Amino acid sequence: MKARTSRLLLFLSLLGLLAACGGENVKPAAPAVAAPVTPVKPVKIGVALGGGAAKGFAHIGVIKMLEANGFEPVVVSGTSAGSVVGALYASGMNAFQMQQKAVALDEASIRDIRLFSGGLVQGQKLQDYVNTQVGNKPAEQLKKPFAAVATQLETGDRAVFVRGNVGQAVRASSSIPGVFEPVSIGGKTFVDGGVVSPVPVDAARQLGAEFVIAVDISSRATGQRPSGLLGAVGQSITIMGQRLGEQELARADVIIRPQVLDIGAADFEQRGRAILEGEKAAMAAMPQIRAGVARLQQARVASARSADARAAALQAEAVQRCQDSRSRIDKLRGKEKDCGAQAR
């Protein structure tokens, strides 16, 4: 009897020792938590197309090379001539389609001179032409976000049109003082956007562009007397907006300047050369564009990875806390707790 009792006590003692060794001091490893992978969206590229009358055909060449090199803009802003090209591009046309339109363009189809207003261009033909090209869609229904920039004549404030009648917005943006009749919209009067925003970088940012490519075709005051009324008016606007334009251009990521300054404001015969100069200037800027977009994308990837690492660490901690909350009996039995919900 004593031997049996002794063996029973010995068994209970061994059991107690095993319990003491196996319980709280030995923690099973928490199951591995798969690190989340946050998808990184591509950089949203915007183009800010400046004013410059017939020199504006250069914008087509720039866009052609951007597309060819895989940098298709998804946001478009334009001033004056830039608003014309920008509206067509935002409607869904690619650069080659725009070039076909440019080659076939008859200047008479967009110019309507009214003698009783002092020989000024009315601008209705330009408005109708643009609306026809964009399928008479309002700005908010175009395929790409689009902004046409004009100047409110009463206050001198910048006006950014992102909704409503596209042709009317382009007409307002292109109404060169002294050449076009001012445009009345909603009881307010508007003239060419080049007076306050020659290259609308800020408008592209407001539309959500993360990397802005500015195309500057504006003339510079060279000390030479311009020829003709249109040249004189154009240079006057250039002088007014030059300082302001430089400040806004400084907020662009890349500035492209096609060599078109010697093309006259009304020299539509030089459209082919203007397009070619746009292509050449864009290609010259391509290394800078490629490097800038890559830097922005790499920074975004690094930020996403850092966020993923933090999220994975927090999930692992949550799982470990869940495992640590097991009962004493579960720990003795080596039974893990279902902590799958903690990892999600």
Lowest-pLDDT choice from 49-53, 55-59, 99-103, 314-318: 314-318
Structural domain includes residue 264: yes
What's the pLDDT at 330?
Answer: 63
Instruction: Supply the pLDDT for residue 299.
Output: 85
pLDDT at 19: 46
Question: 287 lies in a domain?
Answer: yes
Look at residue 220 in the predicted model and tell me its pLDDT: 67
**Catalytic (active-site) positions:** 80, 192
Distance CA 204, CA 200 (A): 7
User: Quick one: pLDDT at residue 84?
Assistant: 97
Residue entry with tokens 């409503």: 164
Q: Is residue 343 part of a domain?
A: no
Q: Please write the tens of the pLDDT for every residue from 249-299.
A: 999 999 999 999 888 878 889 999 999 999 999 999 999 999 999 999 998
Q: Is residue 178 part of a domain?
A: yes
| 174 three-state secondary structure | coil
Q: What's the alpha-carbon Rg for the chain, to the nearest Å? A: 33
**Domains contained in the chain, number:** 1
Examine the pLDDT at 233 and tell me if it is beyond 50: yes
Whether 224 shows a pLDDT value over 90: the answer reads no
81, containing H or E segment: helix 81-90
16 found inside a domain? no
Q: What is the span of the domain harbouring residue 134?
A: 45-220+229-298
Give the DSSP letter of residue 191.
E
- pLDDT tens-digit profile of 113-128? 765 555 588 899 999 9
pLDDT of residue 226: 64
How far is it, in rounded angstroms, from Cα 170 to Cα 153?
Answer: 16
CATH classification of the domain holding 129: 3.40.1090.10
Cα distances (angstroms) measured from residue 133 to each of 52, 129, 173: 21, 6, 17
The reply to whether 164 falls in a domain is: yes
Closest among 90, 94, 84, 93 to 127, alpha carbons compared = 84
If one counts every other C-beta atom within 10 angstroms of the C-beta of residue 168, the result is: 23
For residue 333, is it within any domain? no
